[in-house]
Chains A and B, each alone.
Chain A
């Protein structure tokens, strides 16, 4: 059997191990709470800004309700675009850090809807003010390594055409009926897919045909 000295060492080792494990759990709880508070703060910031965007739209909608002032509509379009892009970066950051959380998914969905709203306003602006700004809807899959040339090409067009090309990136796998219907409408049944001014191009090689549909 075990002698007393070795028994003592064994019990001491067990005590130390459980002590350290307990300590680790305490630290872990503190870290999780601290991280959660930090994330909550980030979430609230994004929500506040989203609220601002809504108020901003209501403000311009009220102003343009009884007139078709293209100047006002253009102001609204650019104002909304800058807010949507700024917000997009924050939403992406939050989403990257909290991929599995429901809050992150909800935020991403809200941002996609803002993008779509911006897209609809662009179409309305083009029609009302007889403008020909190009739009590109980019339906992308998550974790797409083969999409790099496509993204690079879109960025090149963006640089080349400036505000003549408006790009709207939409995650194709998002849990949203609206996105689903939109993809169905444009027959974008493959990811990645591009819709350039109403014309659908499918697959990672889609960048080769963008030029064809740019006005």
Chain B
């Protein structure tokens, strides 16, 4: 009964969040602003054992440079890779003079590499790109217009998974598509709290003013943490509607697990580090609404997923148990009673929950549809099946990652960049 009540409250809160994001999404600007001038951009790529992907990333930046009217340089910071990443970049530089490489003798983490790159960067804007990400050629042209507004400190962009092959990659593909809807909604509501690693552009002077990225010993997710400090410095964060970056995702469940542990621990650490922003009117909608809601969401999603999954699996288990008896004994007098019970009140005891649940399912379908629309991706059969399976499998996995991250965070202090 208590869990029903908790589910009811969680459903109401999640419904509110869903509606808020939907309304936010519909109030967004559809196109990015046209740039008044083309700023010089230094693109920083921290590299650590990326020999398989770095050339493709550099090629993507080469075509981006061709499409960009302003000046552009690429600074690769090799974090003492153990593979041939450094030599590959050196060979690449030979034919492409716009790329420079800095070799570190010790791996001190991604944020250290970024900070090193910031020192070497020549231009007013600094774009951070992951070494396994591939921005679309016209990305910069779409993103740059936001910097004509002096209050914009950083601009981030949508992400799509590059050639997903395995099931685990397809699940992440769907997740990223959905997150593109969220990004547009967050942007309209001034609620962006992560400048995404695969491609984000920052004002160089803002990065210098706030002291660059923080060390992984302080936060495991530097891209999220810096967003809070940019906001605290009085700047806003925007997201491009038309730019896009393709990125590689974790190819195995094990690697996904550890990635999410890092991300989730990062979220917890960052929210605790910047708890002074929660319900603080100084930070506008972000402080008063977004931060409390995101904090609540972490708990509410756990309750919702736990409730739905246990109810669902319980019903499936009961059904097969009854079916087994029916087959084994030839007769099961209570089968009809069981079926009636299942449909009348077995799944959700309180009728309010049924109505709310139906609304939430529609909202969920709606936001996923908008995610596909926003990402300009097609919903094939494979994606549809995985999308329908995800609430019963991938979402519980995410809750599991959250719980593990929480336990690890409580019992273990520092973390290192993977």
Residue pairs across A and B with CB atoms within 8 Å: the count is 78
Chain B's interface size range is 20 to 34
B residues 18-48 touching A (CB-CB < 8 Å): 19-20, 23-24, 27
Given A16-B19, A24-B352, are A9 and B27 neighbors across the interface (CB < 8 Å)?
Answer: yes
Q: Which of B189, B281, B338, B355 contacts A6 (CB 8 A)?
A: B189
Name which residue of chain A comes closest to B360, CB basis. A20
CA distance A22 to B33 in the complex (A): 41
With both chains docked as a complex, state the minimum distance between the C-beta of B29 and any C-beta of chain A, in angstroms.
Answer: 12
Residue in A3, A25, A89, A97 whose CB lies within 8 Å of B284 = A3
Q: What is the minimal beta-carbon distance from A89 to any residue of chain B, in angstroms?
A: 7
Those of A1-36 within 8 Å (CB) of chain B: 1-3, 5-6, 9-10, 12-14, 16-17, 20-21, 23-25, 27-28, 31-32, 35
Q: State whether the Cβ of A132 lies closer than 8 Å to any Cβ in chain B.
A: no
**Is A92 an interface position by the 8 A CB rule?**
yes
Q: How far is it, in angstroms, between the C-alpha of A89 and the C-alpha of B190 when the chains are bound?
A: 62
Least Cβ–Cβ distance between A191 and chain B, in angstroms:
19
Residue B407 is within 8 A (CB to CB) of chain A in the complex: no
Give chain A nearest CB distance to B293 CB in angstroms: 10
B118 → A minimal CB distance (Å): 32
Of B16, B281, B325, B341, which contacts A96 at CB under 8 A?
Answer: B341
Question: Among B19, B285, B334, B344, which residue has its beta carbon within 8 angstroms of that of A2?
Answer: B285
Residue numbers in B under 8 Å from A161 (CB-CB):
none
Bound: A155/B284 CA distance, A: 72
- Is the pair B351, A21 in contact by a Cβ cutoff of 8 Å? no
Q: B288 to A2, Cβ gap below 8 A? A: yes
**B124 sits at the interface (CB 8 A):** no
From B12, B344, B351, give the contact of A97 (CB < 8 A).
B344
Assess whether B413 is interfacial by the CB under 8 Å rule.
no
Secondary structure dominating the interface of A? helix
Q: Is A63 an interface residue (CB 8 A)?
A: no
User: Which B residues from 310 to 357 make CB contacts under 8 A with A?
Assistant: 325, 329, 333-334, 336-338, 340-341, 344-345, 350-352, 354-356
Question: Which among A13, A35, A152 has the highest number of chain B CB atoms within 10 Å?
Answer: A13
* B15 at the binding interface (Cβ < 8 Å): yes
B359 touches A20 (CB 8 A): yes
Contacts of A178 in B (CB 8 A): none
Residues in A neighbouring B19, C-beta threshold 8 A: 13, 16-17, 20
- Across the interface, which residues of B come within 8 angstroms of A92, CB to CB? 333-334, 337
Asked if A93 and B337 sit within 8 Å, CB to CB, the answer is yes
User: How near does chain B come to A9, taking the closest CB pair, in angstroms?
Assistant: 5
Contact (Cβ within 8 A) B288 A17: no
Residue of A nearest to B26 (CB): A9
Contact flag A9-B337 (CB < 8 Å), given A16-B19, A24-B355: no
CB pair B289 A31 closer than 8 Å: no
Q: Is the CB of A23 within 8 A of B355?
A: yes
User: Chain A residues with Cβ under 8 A from B338's Cβ?
Assistant: 96
Cα-based distance from A1 to B288 in the complex (angstroms): 8
With A9-B20, A13-B19 already in contact, the answer to whether A96 and B334 are too (CB < 8 A) is: yes
Closest chain A residue to B325, Cβ basis: A148
What 1/0 mask marks residues of chain B from 270 to 290 whose CB sits below 8 Å from any chain A CB? 000000000001001100110
Q: Min CB distance, A29 to chain B, in Å?
A: 8
Q: Residue of B at shortest CB range from A94?
A: B337
Complex CA distance for A155 and B332, rounded to whole angstroms: 12
With beta carbons under 8 angstroms apart, the residue of B16, B288, B333, B336 that contacts A13 is: B16
Q: Which of A6, A21, A152 contacts B285 (CB 8 A)?
A: A6
Which residues of A have CB within 8 Å of B344?
35, 97
Q: Are A9 and B190 neighbours in the complex by a CB distance under 8 Å?
A: no
Q: Mark A28-67, 1 if CB is under 8 A from B, else 0.
A: 1001100100000000000000000000000000000000
Q: In the complex, are the beta carbons of B333 and A28 less than 8 A apart?
A: no
Q: Which of B220-261 contact A (CB under 8 A)?
A: none
What residues of A have a CB within 8 angstroms of the CB of B329 in the complex?
Answer: 152, 155
Q: How far is the CB of B296 from chain A (nearest CB, A)?
A: 14
Report 7 cross-chain contacts, Cβ distance below 8 Å, ordered by A residue. Answer: A1-B281, A2-B285, A9-B27, A17-B19, A20-B15, A20-B356, A24-B355
